[in-house]
A and B are shown apart, each in its own frame.
Chain A
Amino acid sequence: MSAGTNQTGGTNSGLVKWIDSRLPVFSYLQKEYAEYQSPRNFNWFWNFGAILTFLLVMMIMSGIFLAMQYQPNTALAFDSVERIMRDVNFGWLLRYLHQNGATFFFIAIYIHMFRGMYYGSYKAPRELLWMLGVVILLLAMATAFMGYVLPWGQMSFWGATVITNLFSAVPLVGDSIVTLLWGGFSIDNPTLNRFFALHYLFPFLIFGVVVLHVIALHVSGSNNPLGVDPKGPQDTVSFHPYYTMKDSVGLAVFVTIMAAFVFFAPDFFGEPENYLEAAPLNTPAHIVPEWYFLPFFAILRSVDFDILFIEAKLGGVIAMFGAIFVLFVLPWLDKSPVRSAKFRPVYKWFFWIFLIDCVLLGYVGGKPTDAPVFGGVESFQIIHLGYITTFWYFAHFLIVLPLLGIFERPKPVPKSISEAVLGGGSSGAAATAKPMEKA
């Protein structure tokens, strides 16, 4: 790129230049979002970063307007949400967007993560990029959990009871942690107040970590479906207009699907019982968290036995948090030098088995532990499937991946992106690449 005006997007505006020479926001955007060289071979799974950015902004915006009407008080909270639904102008739209937005945020974040796992996006030099993503997942879970408490329905209250009580399993300080979370000796008004305050804070923390995530991304550059680093300009295109255009398509399709739920089936993902106001003396028959927590909830419940001196309850909590923390060390558990599963014939299978395992965990988490699996025989209960799927979740990371790094024979990896994309492997890659017209 030539110097001068192009650094600020080719503008001749004196004001833009004046500002840019003092605070280079325009040249930063130009460099990081327009000229930023991206591998030319992204598939549609590379849309989800942009989709998640959009959803985060949508959640913050709808949330701010909801907060203007919501009352964080146990006597008023439930009715204030209903007032939003009935009397606030387009309140039902804000509320349903926010409620379904959380669901679709997790759909997008899980697709984004499985994408990263399939194509080895967590491997050097992108370890920190991946770990920051796991931090975002953790923060998003905390935010969603606290947000779910705010409408003060039955599942809000009892979900909060179950989850906060988990911390009492921590040795020595467990009860103190629970008291601190509750702001007292039961889930009550102080709990609701602090959850509201933190629910408002956390999205901005997420935003901060997203900035770090993007900075880390732009240092190492994006991975791609081949897992091969770009070797030169023939392997890349500029982010704008090629990927801004492609992201717009993916975003529009994603938002279309989300809108169909918001307008036509807004309570599809919700738990009906949360339309009953919280009743501390009336325990629901079956307490279930929101669907996006179900796999982790299943892991929690599946450790229902003591392991040496660790009691079952603490064991379950360790396993549940361990299921997330194992993701932090994933870059060091997978020792294979090849990134993309395209060239890893064995890992590819294990990836799909792991994906199915996670779906089964979600199924387990949503059912009573003593129900027969898929309505089948009485002797094979949900808890048994829970043991198997929980074991496999950890075995995948702690046994399968390290062993594959040693024993798997990867297929030959193409020398460059343009060779694989353009040359069909036979002719010289760089020679067939036309000069870039727009890049």
Chain B
Amino acid sequence: MGIVSNLRLAAAATGLIAATMFVSTTAFGAGDVKDPDSQDWHFEGIFGTVDRAAAQRGLQVYLEVCSSCHGLKQVAYRNLTDLGFNEEEVKAIAAEFDVVDGPNDEGEMFDRSAIPSDKFVGPFPNNAAAQAANNGALPPDLSLQVKAHIGGPDYIYALLTGYTEAPADVEVPAGANYNPYFRGSLIAMAQPLWPDGVTYSDGTEATIDQMAWDVVNFMQWAAAPEMEERKKMGFKVVLFLIILSAILYAAKRKMWSNLDH
């Protein structure tokens, strides 16, 4: 408790500093970050939909690569039916994970296999455990990463495919990795994707670009699972409103024609 309140005091102090030091708060110059290239995503545009084949492959990349460090806590296994998995497949995916449930009639907590209604089981029981396992860096939850960055999908794709040798003038300390698309260029995450890091069941070749592409499609769906329903409804609503506006305008003209102008 003492530590917690100390941390809160520290947070409040940080806030005070942030509030009073606006004038000098710009830690990062514009030249530090490389702008991601714009990609042609299937989900873009007012008629854009989820590329289910890509998103299914992306799930595989998430489960086999990303999920060793990153959680996906806002998404439930049952949501995977959106991507075209049937209920048996969803049950099978969920059953690979254990969750703590309880207490049972004896008052004991117990482990059981996850079921479709459970949220994705994360790799760590809490943030402190995650940081302890990652040199103090906290791997962010991936549920909303696409929405949490400007140009989210392009940024994440660029980040995953953008690991290169550091230029001679950049010193990369131990535990850091060079990535020009990351703010400050030094990222705690080591390059996660390598050729043939996963074996796709549909025969797609698992290049770095392909896996990054697929996992971004998956993460986009995970961040905005309502997207297809939203755009479909939006098309009808906006079309209705345009017609309504036109009719109301015509009625207004007719009504006002009774008056002199």
Which chain A residues have a beta carbon within 8 Å of chain B's beta carbons? 40, 79, 82, 85-86, 92-93, 96, 158, 161-162, 165-166, 168, 185-188, 237, 241-242, 245-246, 248-249, 252-253, 255-256, 259-260, 262-264, 266-267, 272-273, 275-276, 280-281, 283, 285-287, 301, 304, 313, 368-371, 383, 421-422, 432-434, 436-438
Contacts and interface: CB of A to CB of B under 8 A. Distances in A.
Interface in B199-242: 223, 225-226, 229-231, 233-235, 237-238, 241-242
7 contacts: A86-B226, A241-B255, A242-B256, A259-B238, A266-B230, A287-B25, A369-B26
B15 A260 contact: no
A285 B27 CA distance: 7
B258 interface: yes
Contacts, number: 153
Interface in B144-166: 144, 147-150, 152
A285 B19 CA distance: 13
Contacts of B92: none
B104 interface: no
A188 B143 CA distance: 24
B9 interface: yes
3 tightest CB-CB pairs across the interface, nearest first?
A: A263-B234, A161-B15, A280-B11
A86 B14 CA distance: 34
A329 B101 CA distance: 63
B191 to A, nearest CB: 23
A161 B12 CA distance: 8
A287 B18 contact: yes
Contacts of B223: 275
Given A186-B12, A263-B233, A283-B18, A82 B238 contact: no
B245 interface: yes
Interface residues of B, number: 58
Nearest to B146: A275
Given A40-B259, A267-B147, A246 B19 contact: no
A301 B261 contact: no
A434 B260 CA distance: 7
Contacts of A262: 234
Contacts of A281: 7, 10-11, 14
Nearest to B151: A272
A96 B9 CA distance: 35
A168 B18 CA distance: 13
A259 B237 contact: yes
B65 interface: no
B3 interface: no
A62 to B, nearest CB: 15
Contact of A263 (B9, B12, B149, B237): B237
B235 to A, nearest CB: 8
A85 B16 contact: no
B63 interface: no
Contacts of B229: 92
Given A263-B238, A383-B23, A438-B258, A256 B245 contact: yes
A286 B255 contact: no
